[in-house]
Structure 1
């Protein structure tokens, strides 16, 4: 019997352009067996895709576009969350 499971890929880009390069990422794989660990922060040196467009070409669907950040005058150089976050989804067959 074959059914589908969901995978979620979160990509943080350097710029809001979907072709901009990936600076941080996380992958949550519902198709992995329970005894396999999910990806952990920092356990990979290279992103799975260089951009959102590259992931889309490999079958990922964008389900969230990051809102444009609002910078208040005088706070442009403060650190905080990564503003250009994109959530992608795909379904894979498992047996």
Structure 2
């Protein structure tokens, strides 16, 4: 058994909002790509990942920006971490 971890960065805090960034780490060794190797994310929303069997394991806390920093784009605020446990032949 091996773990795959998928980080989806969504447009807002709703799980059905669109994916604006993503990363995938594959503990099975099946794929070696990271975000940016493909133009499109693996799912259009976080809800699609749930429907495909990914388990949601973490949601970023909703923290307000400090006054004057409401439009700071230094990081992607709405991160959702998913995992799949995959059986391998090894």
TM-score, length basis structure 1: 0.87
Q: How far apart, in 1, do the equivalents of 2:68 and 2:16 lie?
A: 29
What are the residue-to-residue correspondences of 1:33-44 with 2, within 5 Å? 38-44=32-38
Q: Could you list the runs of 5+ residues in structure 2 that have no partner in the other structure?
A: none
Which residue is 1:76 aligned to? Answer: 70
1:78 shift after superposition:
1.9
Deviations 1:9-67 (A, max 9, x none): 0000001000000000001001115xx6x223311100001111100000000000111
Number of residue pairs matched?
89
Match of 2:17 in 1: 20
Give me the TM-score of the superposition, normalised by structure 2: 0.91
Which sections of structure 1, spanning at least 5 residues, go unmatched?
none
